[in-house]
């Protein structure tokens, strides 16, 4: 087993621990932090953390989250928030979760004079990145730990390299013929990183000639749109429409990427929907939660194309970012194929936001 695979296992274990409410030790050999997610934090756990850290508890938040709270601060960094009088879970929830603080701006302003905010170091930033990988709110509580504590730990370098390491470790693990309504000559291929991780799928329509540009679509999974037929987005229409077009074309590949909610996960996407229901658009809702407007990573798509022997593509998308991402990874995008569907009363504002704030090439 090489070092990259060891690192993948370390981060996967840390993700599991963070999601079940356990503490994780992040160690760069010079300094160590014990980290817990704010989502599963209880007052009892917070008090124990404060004792372990001699009272020096830090709350790590993204610049996006602090901007959403009204602070004039760079969104490009993570920040350490310290409360000299001590944190309680209510204050942490107020600072980290917009669904508890949407009506509490005045309460936040009252607390503002009692907290200190500084730019977080690289180690604290990696703790926040781990929370994002775990599909939890991007907010963590941490305390300093002694370097000689005999606990399993994960390095910041392993966390920061996780996405690229997982993509490069993808292997084809299973495939089967799956006739579809509009494409009977279809099969589904499953790819998984060696030694565990999230699966990504490829829906292959017809017989692929890799000597010619292949019609493809990068489709991020959308439980609500793809499976339930939600009218809040256009994902279901794009999924089924892409398969229809590929069948009529004679062949094509749809890469079904495990990046729900533009990479924030299903639970956080539902939180974003709650924020949209009180007036935020699809971009602002993500920023309110502390995420970037788009957290997706297209390295898995590139790795899957390489494993399928595809180097030239005709990309079905309205999103120039996808074209740029594939091109940057060395994929020859010979053509962008528009892939838009009519709006409905529930997703019209969503589609307008994609045009106005995310640069999508759609005529509304």
Residues annotated as catalytic (active site), given as ranges: 294, 296
Calculate the alpha carbon distances from 154 to 57, 114, 239 in Å: 20, 33, 37
Question: β-strand 24-27 against 78-82: which pairing, if any?
Answer: unpaired
Residue 57 near residue 88, CB atoms below 8 Å = no
Residue 344 near residue 270, CB atoms below 8 Å = no
Residue appearing with tokens 């809702």: 285
Instruction: With H, G, I as helix, E, B as strand and everything else as coil, classify residue 91.
Output: helix
306: phi then psi, degrees, rounded to nearest 5: -65, -40
Q: Which residues make Cβ contacts (< 8 Å) with residue 14, sequence separation at least 6?
A: 24, 26, 130, 154, 159
What is the 8-class DSSP label of residue 227? I
Rounded to whole angstroms, the Cα distance separating 7 from 155 reads 8
Q: Which residues make Cβ contacts (< 8 Å) with residue 18, sequence separation at least 6?
A: 24, 35, 36, 37, 130, 131, 134, 136
Give the residues across from 7 on adjacent strands: none
Cα 306 to chain center, whole Å? Answer: 23
Per-residue tokens: 284:
């602002």
């Amino acid at each position: 087993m090489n070092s990259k695979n060891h690192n993948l296992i370390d981060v996967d274990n840390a993700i599991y621990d963070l999601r079940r409410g356990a503490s994780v030790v992040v160690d760069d050999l010079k300094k160590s932090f014990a980290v817990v997610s704010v989502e599963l934090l209880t007052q009892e756990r917070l008090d124990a953390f404060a004792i372990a850290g001699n009272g020096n508890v830090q709350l790590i938040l993204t610049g996006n989250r602090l901007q959403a709270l009204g602070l004039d601060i760079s969104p490009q960094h993570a920040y350490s928030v310290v409360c000299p009088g001590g944190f309680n879970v209510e204050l942490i929830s107020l600072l980290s979760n917009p669904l508890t603080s949407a009506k509490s701006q005045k309460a936040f302003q009252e607390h503002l004079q009692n907290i200190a905010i500084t730019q977080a170091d690289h180690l604290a930033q990696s703790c926040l990145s781990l929370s994002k990988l775990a599909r939890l709110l991007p907010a963590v509580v941490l305390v300093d730990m002694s370097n000689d504590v005999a606990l399993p730990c994960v390095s910041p370098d392993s966390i920061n390299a996780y996405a690229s390491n997982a993509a490069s470790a993808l292997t084809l693990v299973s495939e089967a013929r799956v006739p579809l309504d509009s494409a009977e000559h279809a099969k589904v291929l499953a790819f998984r990183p060696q030694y565990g991780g999230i699966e990504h799928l490829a829906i292959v329509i017809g017989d692929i000639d890799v000597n010619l540009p292949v019609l493809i679509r990068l489709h991020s999974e959308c439980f609500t749109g793809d499976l339930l037929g939600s009218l809040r987005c256009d994902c279901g229409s794009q999924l089924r429409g892409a398969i229809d077009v590929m069948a009529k074309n004679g062949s094509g590949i749809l890469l079904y990427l495990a990046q729900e909610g533009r990479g924030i996960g299903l639970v956080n996407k539902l939180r974003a929907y709650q924020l949209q229901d009180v007036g935020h658009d699809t971009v602002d809702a993500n920023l309110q939660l502390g995420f970037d407007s788009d957290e997706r990573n297209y390295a898995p798509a590139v790795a899957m194309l390489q494993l399928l022997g595809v180097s030239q593509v005709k990309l079905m998308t309205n999103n120039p970012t996808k074209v740029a991402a594939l091109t940057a990874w060395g994929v020859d995008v010979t053509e962008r194929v528009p892939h838009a569907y009519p709006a409905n009363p529930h997703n019209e504002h969503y589609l307008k936001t994609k045009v106005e704030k995310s640069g999508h090439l759609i005529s509304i």
